[in-house]
C-alpha cells in the first residue's frame, strides 16, 4: 500500500459529506489519502499525536475541515511544519462564518491556508494540495495543466442555445 500523502481530517463524522469532496478529487488524481475524525476540542491528545507523526510516515499535506469554533486546522498547524489547508464547514447557525474566521485568523508564524466555506472549499482544498505536490512532482504538475486545459475547452464549448 502506498504511503498516505494527504491527511483529510475532520472534527466530526457529520463533516464527512463536505470532506469527502476532497477525497474524491485526490483519488481521481491518483493521490493516496486518509480520512480521519480527529477534533481539536474532543480528542486533543490524539489529534496532536497524529499531526506530529504524519511526516515520518511519508505524509506531505494536511486538509482539515471543521465547523463552529473551528480550531482543528490551527491546532494541527501548531503541531507540524507541513502545509495545512483549512476548510470551514457550514454546520452552525452562523452558516460557517464562525468557522471561516477561526480558520483564517491565525497568528503570525502558524499558517493555515484557508479556503472557502463548504463543499466548494473542500474541492479547492484538494486542488491546492495537488498544486503543493506538483511543486516537486512533474507528473502531477502536468496532470493539473491538462485539467486546466479541459476546463477551458468545456467553458468555451458551452452551448446555451
Residues in contact with ligand RP5 by CB under 6 A are 11-12, 14-15, 39, 66-68, 89, 91
Nearer residue to ligand RP5 within complex by CB, 14 or 139: 14
* Least Cβ distance, residue 66 to ligand RP5 (angstroms): 4
99, 70 in Cβ contact below 8 A? yes
Give Cα 53 to chain centroid, integer Å: 18
Nearer residue to ligand RP5 within complex by CB, 57 or 69: 69
In three-state secondary structure terms, 63 is strand
* Least Cβ distance, residue 132 to ligand RP5 (angstroms): 23
* Least Cβ distance, residue 4 to ligand RP5 (angstroms): 21
Give Cα 98 to chain centroid, integer Å: 18
* Least Cβ distance, residue 110 to ligand RP5 (angstroms): 19
Nearer residue to ligand RP5 within complex by CB, 17 or 30: 17
Those residues whose C-beta lies under 8 Å from the C-beta of residue 21, and which sit 6 or more positions away, are: 119, 122, 123, 126
Closest CA to 133 of 88, 87, 82: 82
Nearer residue to ligand RP5 within complex by CB, 88 or 133: 88
Amino acid at each position: 500500500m502506498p504511503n498516505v500523502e494527504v491527511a483529510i481530517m475532520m472534527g466530526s463524522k457529520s463533516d464527512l459529506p463536505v470532506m469527502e469532496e476532497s477525497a474524491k478529487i485526490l483519488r481521481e488524481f491518483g493521490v493516496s489519502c486518509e480520512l480521519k475524525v480527529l477534533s481539536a476540542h474532543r480528542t486533543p491528545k490524539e489529534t496532536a499525536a497524529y499531526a506530529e507523526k504524519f511526516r515520518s510516515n511519508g505524509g506531505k499535506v494536511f486538509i482539515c475541515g471543521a465547523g463552529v469554533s473551528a480550531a482543528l486546522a490551527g491546532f494541527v498547524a501548531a503541531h507540524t511544519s507541513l502545509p495545512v489547508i483549512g476548510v470551514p464547514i457550514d454546520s452552525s447557525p452562523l452558516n460557517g462564518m464562525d468557522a471561516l474566521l477561526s480558520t483564517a485568523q491565525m497568528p503570525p508564524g502558524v499558517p493555515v491556508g484557508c479556503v472557502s466555506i463548504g463543499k466548494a472549499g473542500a474541492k479547492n482544498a484538494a486542488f491546492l494540495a495537488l498544486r503543493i505536490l506538483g511543486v516537486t512532482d512533474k507528473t502531477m504538475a502536468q496532470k493539473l495543466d491538462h485539467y486546466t486545459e479541459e476546463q477551458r475547452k468545456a467553458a468555451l464549448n458551452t452551448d446555451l442555445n
